[in-house]
Each structure stands twice: as C-alpha cells, then as structure tokens.
A and B are shown apart, each in its own frame.
Chain A
Amino acid sequence: MELVIARPEGLYCPPGDFYIDPWRPVERAVITHAHGDHARTGNQRYLAAAPGEGILRSRLGQDINLQTLAYGERLDHHGVTLSFHPAGHVLGSAQVRLEYEGEVWVASGDYKVEADGTCTPFEPVPCHCFITESTFGLPIYRWQPQAQIFAGIDDWWRANAAAGRASVLFAYSFGKAQRILHGIDESIGPILVHGAVEPLNAVYREGGVRIPQTLYAGDIAKTDPLLRQALIIAPPSAAGSTWLRRFGEYSDAFASGWMLLRGTRRRRGVDRGFVLSDHADWPGLLWAIEQTGAERVMVTHGQVNVLVRHLRELGLDARGFKTEYGDEDEAEPAA
C-alpha cells in the first residue's frame, strides 16, 4: 500500500486524502516546517507540530486555519494515524509519521542529526518506508562539530573587533541566524541584526530558546566606535545593499553548508565561509536512514540520483520523488 505518492500539487496520502508540504494550494496541508519551500500560503487547513505554530503564523499569516499536535501526539484521520516527531532542522520542524493498516511511513521534510539547542533534536522513527531529503547527499559533505564552527566565528569576530572592524555575517534569517546567535560568545561585542531577522528572534525567545540581546542597526550611532566591535547578522539578500554602508570597512562572512566548497566560497565573494548547515551531512543521512530500519526509501530534493543509487547498492528499495522543495532555506545558490 502506497501511503504517500507524488502528485502535481505535492506529496499526497491517498487513504488520508491530505497533502504533506504541498507546493500548490490544497484543502488539507500537513506541514513539516516553516521554510518557504515547505510551507506555502493558500491552503484551506493546516496541520503542524505545536512548537512551530508561532513561526508558521508569523510567516503565513496570524489567521490561517491551523491545528497543532504536540510531538508524539496521535491523530486519527480516515483510518490513518498521524503524528509528528522532531526533525532537528529548525524550531518546530517535524517528521510526519503515517500508519495505516499496519504499514508505517515517515516523511522527514528537512532534518539534521546534530542537536543544537534551538529546537528539539532529531529522533529516528522506525518505519517501513522513509521519505528522506538529500540536500547534501554526496560523501564530500561531512560536517565538523558545530562547537568548532562557532569557535571559528568567535575567533573571526574577535580579530575584527580588535582591528576596529565590524563583522557582517550573512545567514538565512529563519533557523540559521538563531542557531548562530544561540551558539556564539556574546561577550565579544554588541550584536546587531537586520530587520528580517529580529521578528524570528522574538518567536524563538517566546519558544524558550536562549537568544542573546540583539540591537537594530539604528540603535548605535554611526560615529560610535562600538559599531566597529559589532557582529551584524543579515540575510544573504542584504549583501551589497545600502543598509550595509553604515558599517564602513567591514569584514564579511557567509554561514552555510555550501561554504564547504572553495568554488561556492569564491562565488560568494566574502572574506570567510563558515560551514554550518541545518541539514544532515552524508554520514547523517545514511545514519538516519539506517536507524529507521526502513526497507523502502523515497528520496526527495537534493542529490536524488546519487542517494538512490547508493541506497540500492546497499540493498534497499530506493526511488526518487520529484518535488518542488529546495528553493529556499539552503537551496544551492544559483550563481
């Protein structure tokens, strides 16, 4: 029995008559997490994990028709038992477990296996069929422990501050930015954030995640030497904008899993690249798949062909699912 199939609107559960992260408007949408490519506007009803409610409403509108479940709480719909389980990707991110007539499928959305303190850590869920992402599905992608990356960011910020130079760090405003804020050493200097980042900080703080004090750029006068000690967190779209001019001669950096490759680092044209991803690396993907005990694996967005072939060589029944995910949070930059 196929509990999930690919339809033009999105991933569809036939017995339950609902969609998971649909990319076209539908009646019932089950949402794994609030990144723009997974959670879209225009659906009539939404179902999501409770810790993600604040973010979903702030991004899709306060008045969406949204029902939530705590992680592990079960809901029965047309004989399909549905529950959410932590995916460790961003605040409120969840894997969707579906059970129907003894068959269990899990759709992971996006996930990361290293715990980071800004969201509930990933939990493997045993199933017959696992639907996995494959954003970093090549053996070259192996992350260093995040503590090392944060230490690297701290060192860079400290050296800049000592040289009287502001530090501009580009990071995606939802998830990555808060993870960095949570992980760095706030004693080095003041922290300024771009207007696109602060609303999400507020939601994380409300959700009980420790985020250090942040200021808006306007809070420090242009002439204040403190500005040269600051760490500025801005979305990648702010690069080259007039907003950045107030910081004078600054050093810039980009935090993303893609920064692992020299080519992408150079194309970004920043002084530093910090390899920090909210997705599983290659060993992480393989570990997660193995932990589910699944014999069937459906591979979505990323390195679909590579992961499918590799899993088949490992003896699994693997296939690709064509989806329209992967063009927001950490989709590979086009240029």
Chain B
Amino acid sequence: MKAFADLYTRLDATTSSNAKLQAMQDYFATAAPDDAAWAVYFLAGGRPRQVVPTRVLRELTTRLAGLPEWLFEESYQAVGDLAETISLLLPEAEHSSEHGLAWWLQEQLLPLRGLPPEELAVRLPPLWAQLDRQSLMVSLKLLTGAFRVGVSKLLVTRALAAMAGIDAKRVAQRLVGYTDLSHRPSAERYLALIAAESDDEHAQRGGQPYPFFLAHPLQQPTDQFDTVLGPVEDWLVEWKWDGIRAQLVKRDGRLWIWSRGEELVTERFPELHELGNALPDGTVLDGELVVWKQQTDKAFGIQPFALLQQRIGRKTLSAKLLAEVPVVLLAYDLLEWRGADWRSKPQAERRTRLEVLVAELGDERLRLSPEVTGRDWSDLARQREASRELGVEGMMLKRRDSLYGVGRTKDLGLWWKWKVDPFSIDAVLIYAQRGHGRRASLYSDYTFAVWDDASPGERVLVPFAKAYSGLTDEEMRKVDAIIRKTTVEKFGPVRSVTPSLVFELGFEGIALSKRHKSGIAVRFPRMLRWRTDKTVEDADTLATLQGLL
C-alpha cells in the first residue's frame, strides 16, 4: 500500500507528463504483479463503487479524533477533500503494514462493503492504525470511490509499453475492457498486459473488443468546410445517433457486447443475442445501441436516450419491457471480418463490406446507419437542420480513406462530429410550471439554474434557462411527484422547489444578455438527460457557462 501511496503522491505532485511516466515506470518496475494489476486498474480509470458510506467515515473520525461535528466541518471546508481531511484528523500512525495494494483491497477494504455501521466502527480503526498519512488518505479515497489521479489512459499505456518493451498500440489493445467490473484485476491479467507479443495473440483474444476510435468536434462555420474538409465526395456522412456506442464481438461461437466505457454489457441486451448465431465467427461491428420503434409518421424509429438509460437502470428485464423498449444496433463500421483485423483498411472498403453483411443478414435488430448524401456542404447543412425532428444529434463526417484509429488519434484517420447541440451543461431545477394540453395536469415546464459565487465561500443558484422538452412521460411523472413534495412556495401556476434535481441541458447558442439575471441567454434549451447520478452540488457554475461564450 505504501508503494502505491508513494506513486499517488508523485503523480499528484507534478503536471509534467514525463515525470508522471517516470513515476509509473518506477512503480511497475518493482511492484508485485498482483499489486500492479490493481494499480493499472485505478490508473486507467477503474472505479469500484463506494465501499463505506461517507457518513460512517465522518462519524468515526470525529469520535476517534475527539472533535465536535462543526470542527470537522470547518476542517473539511479548509481542505476541500474528504479523504484528505479525514487522514489529517485521525491520530497519526507509524506505517506498519508490509502488505501491498492487492492484499489491502481484496482482503481488507472490499470485504467491508455492505457491513453495518457498528461492524465498520470495529473493523476500520485497527486498519487505519497500520497506515501512515499518505497511505491512509489513498485507502480512504479507494473506500469512498473517489480515487482520481491526473493520468490519461494513454500515459498508463505508454508506461506499461516502455517497461515491457512492446508496442503501445498493442498494450492499448490488451487494456480494452481491463477496468470492466465483471472480472477483478489479477496477477495473471496484469502479466498478460505486459507479455511479449506472440503470433497467435490475435487468435487468443477471446471476447476482447478494439479500442474505440473517437470523433473530434467540428466547430467551424459551414462556409469554411470546403477549405477545412475539402470536397464533400471525400466524406462518408451519417447521422449522429444519441445512443450508447458499442462493439459487438462474435468469436469462437460466442457473442460479447462492449460499451464505449469498455464495460461488458452483453447481458443487458438479450434481444441481440440471436445475432450471435447469425454472424460468422471473427466479426466485430462498431455502432450505436438505440431504442428503436418504427412509427409511420417518422423517418426513423429512434426513441429518446432517456428510455435507453431507464432500461439500463433496471435490474431485471421483463418480456414486457423488452417488447416496449426494444433495442437495435445501428452498425456503422466493421472492425474485424472472418477473423482478420480490418482497422487498417480504408473506411469506404469497410463500409461496403458492412453494407453487404447487414443486407445478407436481413435482421431488423441489426440495422445499417444510413449514409446521408448531399450535393455540397451547404446542402448537408440544410439537411442537418432536421436533426431535432429526426431524433439525432447532428451528423458524423468520416473521411472515406480513413483507417480506424485508436481513441482520439488523428494520424490514421479522421472522424468529425458535427453536432446541433454543441453546448451542454448540468443545471438545477428551481421552478416548475404546469404544462399545456396533454401535460396540463403535470408540472412539465422548468426553470434551471447554475451556481454562482455571491461572496467568497457562498454559492447561490442563478436561473438562466427554461426548458420543457426532452423527458419521457414516465420521467415527467416522477419529476412532477418530486416537485409536489419539495414545493417551497406557490405563485399561481408556478412553484418554487427545494433544489434537488439535476438535468443535463443542451442548447444551440449562447450570448450575453442584459435581460437575464445570469447575464446570459441560451438558444433552444432542452433537457438531454435527467442526471440522477449527480447531486445539486455537482451542477455546473455560471463561470462554466460564461466559458462557453
């Protein structure tokens, strides 16, 4: 644990990539493989859920330190980080534990999950008494699920590659799916990351996906596209779908579905399992998981993202739910075909093969993300204006000669996302108003606010936008119930509420405005997501909003 805490301290102390790289290389050079396995997991962004509730940690700290609650609070205010505050308040100990990160996690920390507070109060103090301040702080960060250190996955990849003497792209490939919670880090998995390259590695990959190739935002005005992008014929243009980016992997007679977060989500999408039988072995598709219900009055069957999010939140997937909220894969790329890695073939060739494959399969759960064609860029810009009605986020532009890169690289190929909602912000619902027509009985029109510093150390919520679209009916009913429960005052049709709900708002433009209290006006705001994963405190600030100007 101490070696990992020292690594954390070194990484935390510097902003230089080279110094970080050196620190990681030093650590991996001496760490035991099982410890290194967990270190890679955390450095690459792996985050186990919170193990011990924050409240329990606070109470235990004030008791062990003999401090009143308010003094803990004052200290926390001064430090600004919970784990650090606790590590500074607990009685200081000599570091007496010889055990490494893996032992601490597997034998001591992770088994604490779910224990009652009384049990935690007995178990934690003797553990803490073995750790010096640094190690204590790091272990508290691991316990609260708040471990973050400023290294990119790319940098971790480089450190491992340099140490193992193998190509960084190979390590990146092996690292895909490493932080997925379905299998724990282990010495074996770590050794596999840094093993020498072998000829049959490709064949032994099991269900491993490829690192996702990511698009860059396109922000230039359309009249510059000819200069920036060249002729429209050089580009494959598609709609930008608002779903979950995923890879569908079929190998060895089995099917795996991976989300962009490199999480294995196969079990969440049973309706796609039959595709596993239809696809030939050695096929990897890249595409977007979306809820799809064809309606006669719409060009596409795509449903709001919120529905998909809701489905993912469900523990059990009933037949009824699967029928009501069916998911399809909109495929847009072919990364592996008949067991061969196709990523170094041009986009156009991959696309042609993909079109044939989808057509041959003829399965409505595997759809082709259609190509959008236009005479020129301004023609496409006109078509793009329909994005909102079509239920898409804008367009994707992929060079027809693009290879499939790794992450945000630009050297192998180029993808642009040309979004209609270039702006988004997490805001707090503070007022609600009754809707019209069908929604007259519901509080469906909301006023949103962001944080602003009224005076040093004191934040207030300033309203900046109103929005009423983007939620499903079911979400709206839930929000309505919460609004009624948290009402502070009523002014005619409007209610003010105790702030508790956070939404991601999307909007198309932003400008200074004297008419608004916030000094800012946004164009076409709408709710993109209900951020049930965020608290009011996590919402964005006016400064963030001003930063978009």
Which residues in A have some Cβ–Cβ distance to B below 8 Å? 138-140, 142, 260-263, 265-266, 269, 271-273, 303, 306, 309-310, 313
**B74-99 vs A, Cβ < 8 Å mask (1 yes, 0 no):** 11001111001100110010000000
Picked from B12, B67, B70, B88, the residue with its CB within 8 Å of the CB of A266 is B12
Chain A nearest CB: distance from B476 CB in Å? Answer: 41
Q: Count the A-B residue pairs with Cβ separation under 8 angstroms: how many?
A: 42
Residues of B within 8 A of A262 (CB): 12, 81, 84
Chain B nearest CB: distance from A272 CB in Å? Answer: 7
Chain B contact residues: over half helix, strand or loop, or mixed?
helix
Which residues in B have some Cβ–Cβ distance to A below 8 Å? 12-15, 65, 67-68, 70-71, 74-75, 78-81, 84-85, 88-89, 92
Q: A271-B14, A306-B74 are in contact. Are A263 and B81 (CB under 8 A)?
A: yes
Given contacts A139-B89, A303-B74, 7 further A-B contacts (CB under 8 A): A138-B71, A138-B74, A139-B65, A262-B84, A263-B81, A265-B13, A306-B74
Bound-state CA distance A53–B80 (Å) is 42
**22 residue pairs from A and B, CB less than 8 Å apart:** A138-B71, A139-B65, A139-B71, A139-B75, A139-B88, A139-B89, A140-B78, A140-B89, A142-B92, A260-B88, A261-B84, A262-B12, A262-B81, A263-B80, A266-B12, A266-B13, A269-B15, A271-B13, A272-B13, A273-B13, A306-B74, A313-B68
Question: Are A140's CB and B12's CB within 8 A?
Answer: no
Chain B nearest CB: distance from A150 CB in Å? Answer: 18
Picked from B13, B15, B68, B79, the residue with its CB within 8 Å of the CB of A140 is B79
Residue of A nearest to B77 (CB): A138
Chain B nearest CB: distance from A156 CB in Å? Answer: 12
Residue of A nearest to B150 (CB): A266
Chain A nearest CB: distance from B283 CB in Å? Answer: 47
Bound-state CA distance A263–B78 (Å) is 10
Chain B nearest CB: distance from A273 CB in Å? Answer: 8
Question: Are A310's CB and B71's CB within 8 A?
Answer: yes
Residues of A within 8 A of B68 (CB): 313
Residue of B nearest to A137 (CB): B74
Bound-state CA distance A303–B71 (Å) is 12
Question: Are B88's CB and A140's CB within 8 A?
Answer: yes
Chain A nearest CB: distance from B90 CB in Å? Answer: 10
Residue of A nearest to B85 (CB): A140
Q: In the complex, which of the residues B14, B65, B92 has the most CB atoms of chain A within 10 Å of its own CB atom?
A: B14
Residues of A within 8 A of B78 (CB): 138, 140, 261
Bound-state CA distance A138–B85 (Å) is 11
Residue of B nearest to A305 (CB): B74
Picked from A140, A266, A273, the residue with its CB within 8 Å of the CB of B75 is A140
Residue of A nearest to B65 (CB): A139
Across the A-B interface, give the 10 residue pairs with the lowest CB-CB distance, nearest first.
A140-B88, A140-B75, A306-B74, A138-B75, A138-B78, A263-B80, A139-B89, A139-B67, A261-B79, A262-B84
Chain B nearest CB: distance from A279 CB in Å? Answer: 15
Bound-state CA distance A309–B78 (Å) is 16
Residues of A within 8 A of B80 (CB): 263
Chain B nearest CB: distance from A319 CB in Å? Answer: 18
Bound-state CA distance A140–B90 (Å) is 9
Residues of A within 8 A of B74 (CB): 138, 303, 306
Residues of A within 8 A of B70 (CB): 309
Residue of B nearest to A140 (CB): B88
Bound-state CA distance A306–B71 (Å) is 8
Residues of A within 8 A of B75 (CB): 138-140
Residue of A nearest to B15 (CB): A269
Bound-state CA distance A60–B500 (Å) is 58
Chain A nearest CB: distance from B77 CB in Å? Answer: 9
Residues of A within 8 A of B84 (CB): 261-262
Residue of A nearest to B137 (CB): A262
Bound-state CA distance A273–B78 (Å) is 18
Residue of B nearest to A269 (CB): B15
Residues of A within 8 A of B88 (CB): 139-140, 142, 260
Chain B nearest CB: distance from A252 CB in Å? Answer: 11
Chain A nearest CB: distance from B91 CB in Å? Answer: 9
Residue of A nearest to B67 (CB): A139
Residue of A nearest to B68 (CB): A313
